[in-house]
Structure 1
């Protein structure tokens, strides 16, 4: 089972140090501890940063001025695509 709060916190921690505003997914890469290979895991789901863009990218609406709006859209995209269903 996915712990949505834990996943949200992992995303926030990873993207909080990005140089906002960010205009594209590539602007986020320098903030990630392992670049595009950075992995986010909760319960039985695991995504690299690259996979997140592919799986939740349809909900992203760049530019982003804050980590909270970015993470909200990522979480909404994962939810809409069924990746966070229990």
Structure 2
């Protein structure tokens, strides 16, 4: 996956997750902050994933609590790479 796709995904994730009140203790702390809730879609090249799909597929990779949006987004990006989604 090229750097541009990753930059775009990082921007999407940051915009969606930034409104949460940090630190966040678990995924449920993020739901009210995400603009479209669990059905919010993130585009990765030609693929699209909902927030719920990513939460389920990447759940084992998260290390809650997260102190900042950047820390959370870094983990999501790393997990997506590990799972071959990015």
Query: Shared fold by TM > 0.5?
Result: yes
- SS for the counterpart of 1:29 is coil
Tell me which residue corresponds to 1:77. Answer: 79
1:31-70 superposed matches below 5 A: 31-70=33-72
Quote the Cα distance in structure 2 between the aligned partners of 1:79 and 1:51.
15
Structure 1 outlier segments of 4+, above 2 Å: none
Quote the Cα distance in structure 1 between the aligned partners of 2:73 and 2:47.
17
**Structure 2 regions of 5+ residues with no counterpart?**
none
TM-score scaled by structure 2? 0.91
TM-score scaled by structure 1? 0.91
**Structure 1 regions of 5+ residues with no counterpart?**
none
Does the CA-based 8 Å contact 1:55-1:77 persist in structure 2?
A: no
Q: Does 1:27 align with 2:36?
A: no
| Aligned residue pairs, count | 84
Q: Cα RMSD (Å) of the superposition? A: 1.2
1:23-48 Cα offsets, whole Å, 9 max, x none, are 11000001111111111013111110
- SS for the counterpart of 1:31 is coil
Q: Does 1:4 align with 2:22?
A: no
